[in-house]
Chain A
Amino acid sequence: MKFSWRIAGEAGQGILNTGLMFAKACMNNGLYVFSSSDYPSLIRGGHNFLDITISNEPVHSCHEKPDLVVALNKESIEKHGSIANAIIYDKLEKDGTKNKKAFPVPLMTISQECGSIVMRNTVAMASSLALIGIELETFNNVIKHSFKNKGENVINKNIEAAKKGYEYSVKNFKPLVKLPAIKNQKMYLVSGNDAVSAGAIQAGCKFFAAYPMTPATSILHNMAFNEENYNIVIKHTEDEIAAINMAIGASFAGVRSMTATSGGGFALMVEALGLAAMTETPLVAVDSQRPGPATGMATRTGQGDLSFILNAAPDDFPRLVIAPGDVEECFDHTVNAFIYSEKYQMPALILVDKHVSISHKTVPMFKPIKNQRYSMIDKIPNNYLRYKITSSGISPRTIPSQLKGMHCASSYEHDEKGNESEDSENRIKMHDKRFRKLESLVKEIPEPIIYGPKNAKFTLITWGSTKGAVLEAIKELKNVNMLHFIYLSPFKTKNLIEIMKGKTCVIEGNKTSQLSALIKQNIGKGPDYKILKYDGRPFTPEYVIREVKKILRIRN
């Protein structure tokens, strides 16, 4: 059973926060939730909406057509009233709506009766809960939790407004559905950025430097909010160049460190990415993509940075590129990014996008891990060589304060000691050494994962945030499965080669199909079809189904 709820209104009306409170009320009834927001790059005015899919089983995406929309202004009634199956709006709106299932609720009137005009959202949420058969009690708890810093008075007023809104709906309307309250393990409503932050903290990240850039900014906020809880130093720097160089400095001094930005900020970091590679300093950097080029569309989503991330910085060097596709993957693979980056002394890049960064999902508590340090030595030999040529390519690393471990790390090509060298033989040895690390790394990272029927006739190939919509879509499509890439560099080909024996279609959020190019580059053959989207909006299951049916010539 699945139910799609949408709340729409003007930027500044608190749509996003309200929506998340509603989602939490559902979550606390044991239901699974996926929530995705659509908002412009401004602070007041402009049209906003937030979609929430609620289900009794895990849910991975939102849907195009809401079962119920809460329209908080005239524009929202017009925009969403005709798409949604049902609509809640303020009874004071004179023109009403043509939607047959219209639920006019005196949102403003109830809010005013309870002592303030700002509680319309609370009234609307409570009315919505009544319409889907969820008890009010869980929502009251969410109010208490969400407004705990605003004081008793605000909490009580909101609880009263919720009660009146709930009672109004119960009294005047027939419920649309009765969503079950199920017993479930304790869940948390977490966004991709939250999970990246949690992963970083779990992995022992002690230094984080960044410059704000949508949609990566909430990582900075999360880390800063927790700086004293976990003894992490957070630096909001003058620019992204400073952020990445500071992170490299901190890592050189021995602490695990990270930076996060979007494509434009990452463009500024590119030279220093090469610095991390050349000095073999571990580093984790996040690029949360938005459409470009240049400033592009700040609050929209896209997957146009793949080729850029894979190739950023002059000349070749090995790098990890990891593209988590959902909240759980954000946590797990951020932890891995820290481990691999330290173990292989190479930059690890986490490639997410607005859709995975800012969408929320209900997940159980993340699995704790025990940290250990990698590729660092305590017993330092005489004549220690920081960049020793080894068969694995990994050289033993020392950090400042270690006696006998002294060396100078250089952005110039260098010899085993670290001294600058332009000797041709040395250059070949060093370049080969850096690349040799890939041989063991590639064995350690996972193959792309197959979801759905193993021997399906048609395979959709995805990476990153596209996972969710396609996972939902293959439930509805017969004989179609999917192959999902999380690790894009190094690139694993075993499962891919197997899958490519059948018919395949790459689905991704960019114009030129950058994953197809990567596949072709690696195995000499591209996919049979491509479904591409670059309008700044995420894929929906419906979109995927429509496009796949076109390809397979399936009529509805």
Chain B
Amino acid sequence: MDIEDLNTMENPTWCPGCGNYSLVSAIRSCIADLGWKQEDTVIISGIGCGSKLPHYVNVYGFEGLHGRTLPVATGVKLANHKLHVIAVSGDGDGYGIGANHFLHTLRRNIDITYIVQNNEVYGLTQGQTSPTSPKGYKSPSTPHGAIEEPLNPIALAVVGGATYVARAYAFDPKSMKELLLDGMRHKGFSLIDVCMPCFAFNKVITVDWFKQHMKQLSDINHNPSDKFSAIKYSYFDNASFYFGLFYHEQKKTYNEELEQLRSKPLIKQDIKNIDISKFIKEFE
């Protein structure tokens, strides 16, 4: 397959220079590299700037409701576990309104790749504080500065049971693609938190901010099978903000645990003749 086949040729609605351009190219390029068939690949999103992404990749797509990306993706995967399922959300969608689903999806080790476009601000609704905005962040919804501490998605994912946890930077496309590829290949739930400063609204967490604080886990002595080390480096200590592979383990996926799915996916089950006498026997 040619990588150009993966482009729907729709014009993205993102601002010029947005990190989503480089993310969508990387996703297309990963799908091509992995040899995933277009018709067997599904990208599911929620609502937000980043959630428009499924429209720009020529595979099956589903742009659902704000915050509900993961349940829809889970349903798709359980209905047909032969599909390659990618879920994409922004930080507001995934870590704010959808946080409950995030926590519970982590526990399931469902075999999907979850990419969070983390710009630490609400873009589409014009610049309010997001769950990952730093404490003190001033915005139209927090004019005197956000009081809450930012949510730490990496630590949450590690504690919650994700089996692949990484952080990428949209303006470092080479490393981002490697992490995405790795995550997409991973059997089980993978989270790739992709940082992409919002040029339109975020005047605090900017490209310069990342230049100042960005550190690579590969440059230090971090073992990705060590949960405690992963959690330690996931915290911003006012000097270093780490990128790379935080955590990785192999474990049975949700659908591998289901006896019903052992022989074939649900979608392949024959429904023509169903005999309910076994069901009704209980009621004799």
* Interface residues, chain A, with chain B CB atoms under 8 Å away: 24, 145, 186, 188-190, 194, 197-198, 201-204, 206-207, 209, 222, 225-233, 235, 237-239, 241-243, 245-257, 271-272, 275, 279, 365-366, 368, 370-372, 399-412, 418-420
Q: Give A238 to B104 CA distance when docked, in angstroms.
A: 7
Interchain nearest-CB distance for A241 vs B (Å): 7
The answer to whether A249 and B104 touch (CB under 8 A), given A400-B60, A419-B55, is: no
- In the A-B complex, the 3 residue pairs with the closest CB atoms: A249-B75, A204-B271, A408-B61
Q: Name B45-67 residues within 8 Å CB distance of A.
A: 47, 52, 54-55, 58-65
| Beyond A188-B284, A245-B65, A248-B64, 7 additional pairs, beta carbon < 8 A | A206-B79, A227-B260, A228-B260, A242-B71, A401-B267, A406-B60, A420-B63
Q: Select which of B54, B62, B274 is within 8 A of A371 by beta carbon.
A: B274
| Residues on the B chain within 8 Å of A275, using CB | 64-65, 68
Interchain nearest-CB distance for A514 vs B (Å): 28
| Residues on the B chain within 8 Å of A405, using CB | 39, 60
Is B44 located at the chain interface by the 8 A CB criterion?
yes
Is B273 located at the chain interface by the 8 A CB criterion?
yes
Q: Select which of B39, B82, B276 is within 8 A of A366 by beta carbon.
A: B276
| Residues on the B chain within 8 Å of A420, using CB | 52, 55, 63
Interchain nearest-CB distance for B160 vs A (Å): 12
Contact B64 A253 (CB under 8 A): no
Q: Give A328 to B197 CA distance when docked, in angstroms.
A: 59
Interchain nearest-CB distance for A367 vs B (Å): 10
Q: Give A426 to B150 CA distance when docked, in angstroms.
A: 42
Contact B55 A249 (CB under 8 A): no
| Residues on the A chain within 8 Å of B283, using CB | 188-190, 194
Q: Give A247 to B74 CA distance when docked, in angstroms.
A: 9
Q: Give A279 to B63 CA distance when docked, in angstroms.
A: 9
Q: Give A178 to B80 CA distance when docked, in angstroms.
A: 58
Q: Select which of B59, B68, B75, B266 is within 8 A of A231 by beta carbon.
A: B266
Q: Give A390 to B195 CA distance when docked, in angstroms.
A: 43
Q: Select which of B40, B80, B275 is within 8 A of A368 by beta carbon.
A: B275
| Residues on the A chain within 8 Å of B39, using CB | 400-406
Is B238 located at the chain interface by the 8 A CB criterion?
no
Between-chain CB contacts (< 8 Å), 23 pairs: A24-B284, A204-B269, A206-B79, A206-B269, A226-B279, A231-B260, A242-B70, A242-B71, A245-B65, A248-B72, A249-B44, A249-B72, A253-B42, A253-B79, A254-B80, A255-B79, A271-B65, A370-B272, A400-B83, A401-B80, A405-B39, A410-B63, A420-B63
Most A CB contacts (10 A, CB to CB) among B38, B65, B72, B278 go to B72
Contact B274 A202 (CB under 8 A): yes
Is B73 located at the chain interface by the 8 A CB criterion?
yes
Contact A253 B280 (CB under 8 A): no
Is B10 located at the chain interface by the 8 A CB criterion?
yes
- Which residue on chain A has the smallest CB distance to residue B60? A400
Q: Give A368 to B284 CA distance when docked, in angstroms.
A: 17
| Residues on the B chain within 8 Å of A370, using CB | 272-273
| Residues on the B chain within 8 Å of A246, using CB | 71-72, 74-75, 78
Most B CB contacts (10 A, CB to CB) among A228, A241, A401, A412 go to A401
Is B229 located at the chain interface by the 8 A CB criterion?
no
Q: Give A188 to B282 CA distance when docked, in angstroms.
A: 9
| Residues on the A chain within 8 Å of B62, using CB | 249, 252, 279, 408-410
Q: Give A409 to B59 CA distance when docked, in angstroms.
A: 11
Q: Select which of A189, A197, A201, A406 is within 8 A of B274 by beta carbon.
A: A201
Contact B63 A253 (CB under 8 A): no
Is B142 located at the chain interface by the 8 A CB criterion?
no
| Residues on the B chain within 8 Å of A252, using CB | 62, 72, 75-76, 79
Contact A255 B279 (CB under 8 A): no
The answer to whether A406 and B38 touch (CB under 8 A), given A233-B260, A250-B78, A420-B55, is: yes
